Amino acid sequence: MRPHAPLIAFVLAAAPLLGQAQIITRPLSGAQSEEFDRCMKAAGTDAAAARKCVAATIDGETGRPPAEAQPPSTPTPPPTDETQPPATPTVPPPSEPVPPPVPPTEPATTPPTEQVTPPDAPVPTDIPPTPVDAPEPGADVQGEPTQAERDFDDIYGQYGDPNLPTPMAPPAVYDPWERYNRGMHKFNNAVDRTVARPLARGYVKVVPRPFRLGVSNFFNNLGQPVSAINALLQGKPKQAGQSLGRFLLNSTLGIGGIFDPASDAKLPNKSEDFGQTLGIWGWKNSRFVELPLFGPRTLRDSFGMVGDAPLSPLRQVEADRVRIPLQGLQLVDVRAQLLATDSFREGAEDDYTLVRDAWIQRRNYQIFGDRMRDEDQSLPDYLRDDTNPQVPVDAMPVMPTDGS
Protein backbone atom coordinates (compact mmCIF):
# COMPACT_ATOMS: atom_id res chain seq x y z
CA MET A 1 0.00 0.00 0.00
CA ARG A 2 2.92 2.29 0.47
CA PRO A 3 3.67 2.82 -3.23
CA HIS A 4 0.16 4.22 -3.66
CA ALA A 5 0.50 6.66 -0.83
CA PRO A 6 1.53 9.54 -3.08
CA LEU A 7 -1.42 8.95 -5.37
CA ILE A 8 -3.84 8.92 -2.45
CA ALA A 9 -2.30 12.08 -1.08
CA PHE A 10 -2.67 13.80 -4.51
CA VAL A 11 -6.33 12.81 -4.72
CA LEU A 12 -6.95 14.10 -1.25
CA ALA A 13 -5.15 17.34 -2.07
CA ALA A 14 -7.07 17.77 -5.30
CA ALA A 15 -10.45 17.12 -3.73
CA PRO A 16 -10.98 20.75 -2.73
CA LEU A 17 -10.28 21.79 -6.30
CA LEU A 18 -13.05 19.72 -7.84
CA GLY A 19 -15.33 22.76 -7.72
CA GLN A 20 -13.00 24.46 -10.16
CA ALA A 21 -12.35 21.46 -12.34
CA GLN A 22 -14.39 22.99 -15.17
CA ILE A 23 -11.78 25.68 -15.53
CA ILE A 24 -8.86 23.29 -15.54
CA THR A 25 -10.48 21.11 -18.13
CA ARG A 26 -10.32 23.86 -20.71
CA PRO A 27 -7.56 23.26 -23.23
CA LEU A 28 -4.15 24.68 -22.29
CA SER A 29 -1.34 25.63 -24.54
CA GLY A 30 1.80 23.56 -24.60
CA ALA A 31 3.71 26.10 -22.53
CA GLN A 32 0.89 26.36 -19.98
CA SER A 33 0.66 22.59 -19.59
CA GLU A 34 4.40 22.31 -19.09
CA GLU A 35 4.33 25.07 -16.48
CA PHE A 36 1.37 23.48 -14.75
CA ASP A 37 3.13 20.07 -14.63
CA ARG A 38 6.33 21.67 -13.44
CA CYS A 39 4.41 23.58 -10.73
CA MET A 40 2.58 20.46 -9.58
CA LYS A 41 5.82 18.45 -9.38
CA ALA A 42 7.37 21.17 -7.34
CA ALA A 43 4.35 21.27 -5.04
CA GLY A 44 4.54 17.59 -4.39
CA THR A 45 2.27 16.64 -1.57
CA ASP A 46 1.82 20.25 -0.45
CA ALA A 47 -1.88 20.91 -0.99
CA ALA A 48 -1.55 24.70 -0.56
CA ALA A 49 1.11 24.86 -3.24
CA ALA A 50 -1.04 22.75 -5.55
CA ARG A 51 -3.94 25.17 -5.06
CA LYS A 52 -1.71 28.04 -6.02
CA CYS A 53 -0.68 26.23 -9.16
CA VAL A 54 -4.31 25.68 -10.08
CA ALA A 55 -5.23 29.26 -9.23
CA ALA A 56 -2.36 30.55 -11.32
CA THR A 57 -3.54 28.47 -14.26
CA ILE A 58 -7.12 29.72 -13.85
CA ASP A 59 -5.97 33.36 -13.79
CA GLY A 60 -4.04 32.79 -17.01
CA GLU A 61 -0.64 32.88 -15.38
CA THR A 62 1.49 29.72 -15.36
CA GLY A 63 2.98 29.96 -12.04
CA ARG A 64 5.22 28.10 -9.78
CA PRO A 65 5.17 27.80 -6.07
CA PRO A 66 5.62 31.10 -4.29
CA ALA A 67 9.31 30.46 -4.08
CA GLU A 68 9.55 30.53 -7.86
CA ALA A 69 7.19 33.44 -8.48
CA GLN A 70 10.01 35.22 -10.39
CA PRO A 71 9.27 33.58 -13.74
CA PRO A 72 6.31 35.97 -14.48
CA SER A 73 8.72 37.45 -17.03
CA THR A 74 8.63 34.21 -19.02
CA PRO A 75 4.85 33.75 -18.84
CA THR A 76 4.30 37.24 -20.30
CA PRO A 77 5.19 36.16 -23.87
CA PRO A 78 2.47 33.48 -23.94
CA PRO A 79 -0.24 35.90 -22.81
CA THR A 80 0.88 38.34 -25.42
CA ASP A 81 0.22 35.65 -28.03
CA GLU A 82 -3.34 35.17 -26.91
CA THR A 83 -4.00 38.60 -25.57
CA GLN A 84 -2.68 40.43 -28.67
CA PRO A 85 -6.11 40.53 -30.28
CA PRO A 86 -7.39 42.74 -27.42
CA ALA A 87 -4.17 44.76 -27.58
CA THR A 88 -4.81 45.77 -31.20
CA PRO A 89 -8.07 47.54 -30.37
CA THR A 90 -6.20 49.56 -27.79
CA VAL A 91 -3.81 50.79 -30.50
CA PRO A 92 -6.49 52.40 -32.72
CA PRO A 93 -7.67 54.75 -29.94
CA PRO A 94 -4.33 56.57 -30.11
CA SER A 95 -4.65 56.55 -33.91
CA GLU A 96 -8.19 57.93 -33.69
CA PRO A 97 -7.01 61.14 -32.03
CA VAL A 98 -5.57 61.89 -35.49
CA PRO A 99 -7.54 65.22 -35.34
CA PRO A 100 -4.23 66.83 -34.30
CA PRO A 101 -3.97 67.85 -38.04
CA VAL A 102 -6.25 70.74 -37.04
CA PRO A 103 -3.62 72.35 -34.81
CA PRO A 104 -1.14 72.39 -37.71
CA THR A 105 -3.52 74.52 -39.75
CA GLU A 106 -3.83 77.06 -36.94
CA PRO A 107 -0.10 77.58 -36.67
CA ALA A 108 0.02 77.81 -40.46
CA THR A 109 -2.35 80.78 -40.44
CA THR A 110 -0.83 82.46 -37.43
CA PRO A 111 2.71 82.64 -38.84
CA PRO A 112 1.62 84.72 -41.86
CA THR A 113 -0.10 87.21 -39.59
CA GLU A 114 2.97 87.38 -37.41
CA GLN A 115 5.12 87.88 -40.50
CA VAL A 116 2.93 90.68 -41.82
CA THR A 117 3.30 92.74 -38.67
CA PRO A 118 7.11 92.80 -38.55
CA PRO A 119 7.53 94.05 -42.15
CA ASP A 120 5.04 96.84 -41.53
CA ALA A 121 7.75 99.19 -40.36
CA PRO A 122 9.90 98.96 -43.52
CA VAL A 123 6.99 98.74 -45.98
CA PRO A 124 5.62 102.29 -45.49
CA THR A 125 9.11 103.72 -45.85
CA ASP A 126 9.91 101.69 -48.98
CA ILE A 127 6.60 102.26 -50.82
CA PRO A 128 5.22 105.72 -50.06
CA PRO A 129 3.38 106.08 -53.42
CA THR A 130 1.01 103.17 -52.76
CA PRO A 131 -0.47 104.75 -49.64
CA VAL A 132 -0.91 107.97 -51.64
CA ASP A 133 -2.86 106.20 -54.42
CA ALA A 134 -4.87 104.13 -51.94
CA PRO A 135 -6.82 107.04 -50.46
CA GLU A 136 -7.90 108.19 -53.92
CA PRO A 137 -10.49 105.41 -54.40
CA GLY A 138 -11.78 106.17 -50.93
CA ALA A 139 -11.91 109.84 -51.78
CA ASP A 140 -14.08 109.05 -54.78
CA VAL A 141 -16.69 107.58 -52.43
CA GLN A 142 -16.91 110.99 -50.78
CA GLY A 143 -17.60 112.66 -54.12
CA GLU A 144 -14.10 113.75 -55.07
CA PRO A 145 -13.04 113.19 -58.71
CA THR A 146 -11.12 110.10 -59.73
CA GLN A 147 -7.76 110.20 -61.47
CA ALA A 148 -9.41 109.68 -64.86
CA GLU A 149 -11.77 112.59 -64.20
CA ARG A 150 -8.89 114.81 -63.16
CA ASP A 151 -7.02 113.90 -66.35
CA PHE A 152 -10.09 114.79 -68.38
CA ASP A 153 -10.40 118.13 -66.58
CA ASP A 154 -6.73 118.87 -67.23
CA ILE A 155 -7.27 118.41 -70.95
CA TYR A 156 -10.74 119.83 -71.49
CA GLY A 157 -11.40 121.78 -68.30
CA GLN A 158 -14.12 121.09 -65.79
CA TYR A 159 -16.87 122.27 -68.14
CA GLY A 160 -15.14 122.00 -71.50
CA ASP A 161 -12.19 123.74 -73.09
CA PRO A 162 -10.43 125.72 -70.33
CA ASN A 163 -9.05 128.11 -72.96
CA LEU A 164 -12.48 129.45 -73.85
CA PRO A 165 -13.38 132.70 -72.10
CA THR A 166 -16.66 133.06 -70.29
CA PRO A 167 -18.41 134.81 -73.20
CA MET A 168 -17.75 131.73 -75.37
CA ALA A 169 -20.18 129.67 -73.31
CA PRO A 170 -23.18 128.68 -75.44
CA PRO A 171 -25.42 131.75 -75.23
CA ALA A 172 -29.15 131.84 -74.80
CA VAL A 173 -30.19 132.84 -78.30
CA TYR A 174 -32.95 135.44 -78.48
CA ASP A 175 -34.87 134.39 -81.57
CA PRO A 176 -38.51 135.57 -81.45
CA TRP A 177 -38.61 135.78 -85.26
CA GLU A 178 -37.61 132.16 -85.77
CA ARG A 179 -40.47 131.37 -88.13
CA TYR A 180 -39.48 134.16 -90.52
CA ASN A 181 -35.78 133.42 -90.06
CA ARG A 182 -36.21 129.76 -91.01
CA GLY A 183 -37.95 130.71 -94.20
CA MET A 184 -35.25 133.25 -95.09
CA HIS A 185 -32.60 130.67 -94.23
CA LYS A 186 -34.08 128.27 -96.80
CA PHE A 187 -34.09 131.06 -99.39
CA ASN A 188 -30.44 131.94 -98.70
CA ASN A 189 -29.45 128.27 -98.86
CA ALA A 190 -31.17 127.91 -102.22
CA VAL A 191 -29.30 130.93 -103.60
CA ASP A 192 -26.07 129.59 -102.14
CA ARG A 193 -26.51 126.12 -103.68
CA THR A 194 -27.43 127.40 -107.12
CA VAL A 195 -25.22 130.50 -107.45
CA ALA A 196 -22.71 131.33 -104.72
CA ARG A 197 -21.17 127.94 -103.99
CA PRO A 198 -20.71 126.89 -107.65
CA LEU A 199 -19.06 130.24 -108.37
CA ALA A 200 -16.78 129.91 -105.33
CA ARG A 201 -15.73 126.37 -106.30
CA GLY A 202 -15.01 127.44 -109.88
CA TYR A 203 -13.06 130.43 -108.59
CA VAL A 204 -10.92 128.19 -106.34
CA LYS A 205 -10.39 125.71 -109.14
CA VAL A 206 -9.39 128.25 -111.77
CA VAL A 207 -7.57 130.98 -109.87
CA PRO A 208 -4.21 130.00 -108.30
CA ARG A 209 -3.90 130.38 -104.58
CA PRO A 210 -1.36 133.30 -104.65
CA PHE A 211 -3.80 135.35 -106.72
CA ARG A 212 -6.70 134.45 -104.46
CA LEU A 213 -4.60 135.46 -101.45
CA GLY A 214 -3.85 138.79 -103.10
CA VAL A 215 -7.58 139.38 -103.69
CA SER A 216 -8.37 138.60 -100.03
CA ASN A 217 -5.60 140.96 -98.88
CA PHE A 218 -6.93 143.74 -101.14
CA PHE A 219 -10.48 143.65 -99.75
CA ASN A 220 -9.26 143.20 -96.19
CA ASN A 221 -7.12 146.29 -96.57
CA LEU A 222 -10.13 148.30 -97.79
CA GLY A 223 -11.90 147.53 -94.50
CA GLN A 224 -9.10 148.86 -92.28
CA PRO A 225 -10.37 152.50 -92.21
CA VAL A 226 -13.76 151.32 -90.90
CA SER A 227 -11.99 149.14 -88.30
CA ALA A 228 -9.84 152.10 -87.20
CA ILE A 229 -12.86 154.39 -86.70
CA ASN A 230 -14.84 151.76 -84.74
CA ALA A 231 -11.83 150.87 -82.60
CA LEU A 232 -11.54 154.54 -81.70
CA LEU A 233 -15.27 154.70 -80.88
CA GLN A 234 -14.83 151.65 -78.62
CA GLY A 235 -12.06 153.34 -76.65
CA LYS A 236 -9.17 151.46 -78.23
CA PRO A 237 -6.82 154.16 -79.58
CA LYS A 238 -3.88 151.79 -79.86
CA GLN A 239 -5.84 149.35 -82.01
CA ALA A 240 -7.17 152.25 -84.09
CA GLY A 241 -3.62 153.38 -84.79
CA GLN A 242 -2.58 149.84 -85.74
CA SER A 243 -5.49 149.51 -88.20
CA LEU A 244 -4.68 152.86 -89.75
CA GLY A 245 -1.00 151.90 -89.97
CA ARG A 246 -1.89 148.63 -91.71
CA PHE A 247 -3.97 150.52 -94.26
CA LEU A 248 -1.21 153.00 -95.07
CA LEU A 249 1.58 150.38 -95.16
CA ASN A 250 -0.29 147.84 -97.27
CA SER A 251 -1.68 150.51 -99.61
CA THR A 252 1.84 151.78 -100.40
CA LEU A 253 4.39 149.02 -99.97
CA GLY A 254 1.75 146.34 -100.51
CA ILE A 255 0.74 147.80 -103.90
CA GLY A 256 -2.81 148.74 -103.06
CA GLY A 257 -3.15 146.01 -100.41
CA ILE A 258 -2.42 143.06 -102.70
CA PHE A 259 0.51 142.15 -100.47
CA ASP A 260 0.59 142.25 -96.69
CA PRO A 261 3.84 143.78 -95.42
CA ALA A 262 1.97 145.02 -92.32
CA SER A 263 1.75 141.45 -90.99
CA ASP A 264 5.52 141.08 -91.48
CA ALA A 265 5.88 144.30 -89.46
CA LYS A 266 3.93 142.58 -86.59
CA LEU A 267 0.92 144.89 -86.92
CA PRO A 268 -2.12 142.86 -85.76
CA ASN A 269 -5.05 142.44 -88.10
CA LYS A 270 -8.21 143.15 -86.09
CA SER A 271 -11.62 143.70 -87.60
CA GLU A 272 -14.15 146.03 -85.98
CA ASP A 273 -17.54 147.22 -87.18
CA PHE A 274 -20.29 149.47 -85.90
CA GLY A 275 -22.34 146.48 -84.71
CA GLN A 276 -19.52 145.61 -82.33
CA THR A 277 -19.34 149.24 -81.25
CA LEU A 278 -23.03 149.18 -80.34
CA GLY A 279 -22.40 146.02 -78.30
CA ILE A 280 -19.55 147.70 -76.42
CA TRP A 281 -21.78 150.69 -75.78
CA GLY A 282 -24.32 148.48 -74.02
CA TRP A 283 -26.56 146.79 -76.59
CA LYS A 284 -25.54 143.29 -75.50
CA ASN A 285 -28.59 141.12 -76.09
CA SER A 286 -30.18 141.54 -79.51
CA ARG A 287 -32.68 139.38 -81.35
CA PHE A 288 -31.43 137.17 -84.15
CA VAL A 289 -32.47 137.94 -87.72
CA GLU A 290 -31.47 136.46 -91.07
CA LEU A 291 -31.25 139.00 -93.84
CA PRO A 292 -31.69 138.13 -97.52
CA LEU A 293 -28.31 137.50 -99.18
CA PHE A 294 -26.41 138.84 -96.12
CA GLY A 295 -27.19 135.78 -94.01
CA PRO A 296 -27.24 135.64 -90.21
CA ARG A 297 -27.22 138.91 -88.28
CA THR A 298 -28.81 140.47 -85.24
CA LEU A 299 -30.99 143.52 -85.12
CA ARG A 300 -28.08 145.39 -83.57
CA ASP A 301 -25.75 144.35 -86.41
CA SER A 302 -28.35 145.39 -88.98
CA PHE A 303 -28.21 148.94 -87.64
CA GLY A 304 -24.42 148.60 -87.54
CA MET A 305 -24.36 147.85 -91.26
CA VAL A 306 -26.25 151.08 -91.92
CA GLY A 307 -23.66 152.96 -89.88
CA ASP A 308 -20.67 151.36 -91.66
CA ALA A 309 -21.94 151.77 -95.24
CA PRO A 310 -21.04 155.46 -95.67
CA LEU A 311 -17.50 154.79 -94.40
CA SER A 312 -16.70 152.01 -96.88
CA PRO A 313 -14.04 153.07 -99.44
CA LEU A 314 -15.49 150.73 -102.06
CA ARG A 315 -18.90 152.35 -101.87
CA GLN A 316 -17.29 155.70 -102.56
CA VAL A 317 -16.55 154.59 -106.13
CA GLU A 318 -19.23 156.19 -108.27
CA ALA A 319 -18.48 154.34 -111.50
CA ASP A 320 -20.76 151.31 -111.57
CA ARG A 321 -18.53 149.63 -114.17
CA VAL A 322 -15.79 149.46 -111.55
CA ARG A 323 -17.71 149.17 -108.30
CA ILE A 324 -20.16 146.39 -109.21
CA PRO A 325 -17.52 143.94 -110.58
CA LEU A 326 -15.40 144.59 -107.50
CA GLN A 327 -18.38 143.94 -105.23
CA GLY A 328 -19.14 140.69 -107.08
CA LEU A 329 -15.52 139.58 -106.77
CA GLN A 330 -15.63 140.34 -103.08
CA LEU A 331 -18.75 138.18 -102.64
CA VAL A 332 -17.08 135.27 -104.45
CA ASP A 333 -13.93 135.70 -102.33
CA VAL A 334 -15.94 135.62 -99.10
CA ARG A 335 -17.82 132.47 -100.19
CA ALA A 336 -14.54 130.82 -101.18
CA GLN A 337 -13.24 131.41 -97.64
CA LEU A 338 -16.39 129.76 -96.25
CA LEU A 339 -16.04 126.57 -98.33
CA ALA A 340 -14.11 124.99 -95.47
CA THR A 341 -17.19 125.28 -93.22
CA ASP A 342 -19.45 123.34 -95.56
CA SER A 343 -18.21 120.00 -94.21
CA PHE A 344 -19.41 120.96 -90.72
CA ARG A 345 -22.92 121.59 -91.98
CA GLU A 346 -23.25 118.33 -93.91
CA GLY A 347 -25.53 115.88 -92.16
CA ALA A 348 -26.69 118.42 -89.57
CA GLU A 349 -30.08 117.54 -88.13
CA ASP A 350 -31.11 121.21 -88.08
CA ASP A 351 -28.95 123.41 -90.29
CA TYR A 352 -30.70 126.59 -89.22
CA THR A 353 -30.04 126.00 -85.50
CA LEU A 354 -26.44 125.04 -86.21
CA VAL A 355 -25.72 128.19 -88.26
CA ARG A 356 -27.59 130.47 -85.86
CA ASP A 357 -25.92 129.20 -82.66
CA ALA A 358 -22.45 129.11 -84.23
CA TRP A 359 -22.79 132.64 -85.60
CA ILE A 360 -24.13 134.06 -82.30
CA GLN A 361 -21.32 132.39 -80.35
CA ARG A 362 -18.66 133.72 -82.69
CA ARG A 363 -20.21 137.18 -82.75
CA ASN A 364 -20.39 137.42 -78.96
CA TYR A 365 -16.72 136.55 -78.75
CA GLN A 366 -15.85 139.24 -81.31
CA ILE A 367 -17.63 141.82 -79.18
CA PHE A 368 -17.01 140.81 -75.56
CA GLY A 369 -14.09 138.38 -75.73
CA ASP A 370 -11.74 141.05 -77.04
CA ARG A 371 -11.18 142.60 -73.64
CA MET A 372 -10.63 139.25 -71.93
CA ARG A 373 -8.18 138.18 -74.63
CA ASP A 374 -5.74 140.91 -73.62
CA GLU A 375 -5.76 139.59 -70.05
CA ASP A 376 -5.62 135.88 -70.88
CA GLN A 377 -2.57 135.03 -73.02
CA SER A 378 -3.35 131.28 -73.01
CA LEU A 379 -6.10 131.51 -75.64
CA PRO A 380 -5.51 129.31 -78.71
CA ASP A 381 -4.67 130.87 -82.06
CA TYR A 382 -8.01 130.01 -83.65
CA LEU A 383 -9.76 132.28 -81.13
CA ARG A 384 -7.24 135.07 -81.70
CA ASP A 385 -8.00 135.11 -85.43
CA ASP A 386 -10.01 138.23 -86.16
CA THR A 387 -10.79 137.45 -89.78
CA ASN A 388 -14.50 137.87 -90.35
CA PRO A 389 -15.57 135.78 -93.39
CA GLN A 390 -19.09 137.09 -93.70
CA VAL A 391 -20.82 139.17 -96.37
CA PRO A 392 -19.51 142.72 -95.77
CA VAL A 393 -21.70 145.73 -96.14
CA ASP A 394 -19.64 147.16 -98.98
CA ALA A 395 -20.09 143.97 -101.05
CA MET A 396 -23.77 144.63 -101.78
CA PRO A 397 -24.54 146.84 -104.79
CA VAL A 398 -27.57 148.53 -103.16
CA MET A 399 -27.91 149.79 -99.57
CA PRO A 400 -30.69 151.82 -97.93
CA THR A 401 -28.22 154.66 -97.47
CA ASP A 402 -27.58 154.98 -101.20
CA GLY A 403 -29.03 158.18 -102.57
CA SER A 404 -29.91 156.78 -105.94
Predicted pLDDT of residue 159: 58
Residue 160 pLDDT: 55
Q: Say which DSSP state 273 is in.
A: -
Task: In whole angstroms, give the CA distance from residue 372 to residue 28.
Answer: 125
3-state SS track over 153-217: HHHHCCCCCCCCCHHHCCCCCCCCCHHHHHHHHHHHHHHHHHHHHHHHHHHHHHCCHHHHHHHHH
Share of the chain above pLDDT 90, in %: 36
Is the pLDDT at 257 greater than 80? The verdict is yes
Lowest mean pLDDT across 14-18, 219-223, 247-251, 346-350: 14-18
Q: Please report the beta strands in 55-100, taking only residues with DSSP state E, as ranges in sequence order.
A: none
Give pLDDT, residue 300.
95
Mean pLDDT of the residues in the chain? 73
Q: Quick check: 168 and 361 in contact, CB under 8 A?
A: yes
Compute φ and ψ for 75, nearest 5 degrees: -65, -20
Residue 163 confidence (pLDDT) above 90: no
The whole-number pLDDT of residue 144 equals 77
CA-only gyration radius of the chain, Å:
60
C-alpha 95/C-alpha 294 separation (Å) is 105
Residue 177 has pLDDT above 70, yes or no: yes
> How does residue 180 score in pLDDT terms, banded at 50, 70 and 90?
very high
0.75 exceeded by pTM? no
| pLDDT surpassing 80 at residue 178 | yes
Question: What pLDDT band is residue 343 in, cutting at 50, 70 and 90?
Answer: confident
pLDDT digits over 110-156, tens only? 444 444 444 454 444 455 554 444 454 444 455 677 888 877 777 76
Q: Determine which of 188-192, 259-263, 388-392 has the lowest per-residue pLDDT on average.
A: 388-392
Lowest-confidence segment of 73-77, 265-269, 273-277, 364-368 by average pLDDT: 73-77
Give the C-alpha separation, 379 to 396, whole Å.
34
- Give the pLDDT of residue 389: 64
pLDDT in tens, 19-57: 444 444 456 677 777 787 888 778 777 777 777 777 777
Predicted local confidence at residue 164, as pLDDT: 57
Cβ atoms within 10 Å of 348's Cβ, excluding its own: 11
The predicted pLDDT at position 89 comes to 45
